[in-house]
Amino acid sequence: MKASALTLVLAVLFCVTASAQTVYSFKSVVFPGDTFTQTLGINNQSEIAGYHGATVNKGFTLVLPNHFTNENFPNSGQTQVIGINNAGSTDGFYIDNAGTTHGLLHRKGRFTTVDFPGTTFNQLLGLNDKGEAAGYYADADNNDHAYTFQAGMFTPVTTPGVSSQATGVNDEGDVSGFYVDNSGTNHGFLMRGGILTTLDFPQATFTQALGLNNLHQVVGFYMDAAGNTHGFLYDVFSGAFESVNDPKGVDATTINGINDVGQITGFYVDATSGNTNGFVGQIVRCIE
């Protein structure tokens, strides 16, 4: 098992270079009886966090291939489960019966509400193995403000622009996310060692970084000039971007999570049915 994991890690490092193309095998994830499923986080044991239901969101965790466990904040109207760490703890958000959106943590079977003081809209979007979560709150003007949260303490993540969300945090405390500049354009970012790097996929009109791992790889999605949506993988050390798309949704793919053993997860819109399906991608080989 360890040798297999090591092989996959080396494959990830080798594939993400300026001249390489990674070939993935994709497995669709569909919540039973639903036409809308998004898989959003994946840990090193291939446990997945996500939700289903386009109109009423219901959270779940998944052990592949098809063991779903419902995970919804008690008495909530809607729940999304987004981040998952290697202990199986999760984070996300829920909407209460009054319509207020709250961040949530779920550890050892217990739910906790996480709201930045004095705010009425919070979401948590990523969780590392140290219990540090990444998220944001919205102010009265509907501008978003990125932060991390750990042990009851909120730490703002300062970015350019008028609005920002922190979407992932790894065990070194690196933070992924995106910000909106003064002209309304979305840019991905990586905050590492207090230094912010803007991540814009080449020739894209819109980029959001949505997750990262402990190998300094970032995932997300971008829009091309035609308005199509594509997933991407970015490697910090090589500085290389790679476009990654589920072949069943080549112009409508979003990558939301990546673990340390070469697996990615996200969702696509099926070109035939129009359904939104989750996916898990596994590296098959690299083409130079």
Distance CA 251, CA 271 (A): 9
pLDDT tens for the chain, 288 residues: list them.
Answer: 333 343 344 444 446 555 567 889 999 999 999 999 999 999 999 999 999 999 999 999 999 999 999 999 999 999 999 999 999 999 999 999 999 999 999 999 999 999 999 999 999 999 999 999 999 999 999 999 999 999 999 999 999 999 999 999 999 999 999 999 999 999 999 999 999 999 999 999 999 999 999 999 999 999 999 999 999 999 999 999 999 999 999 999 999 999 999 899 999 999 999 999 999 999 987 776
3-class DSSP assignment, residue 85 = coil
- Rounded to two decimals, the pTM is 0.93
Specify whether domain 2-287 bears CATH 2.120.10.30: yes
User: How is 145-200 classified by DSSP, letter by letter?
Assistant: EEEEEETTEEEE---SSSEEEEEEE-TT--EEEEEE-TTS-EEEEEEETTEEEEE-
Judged by DSSP in three states, 58 sits in strand
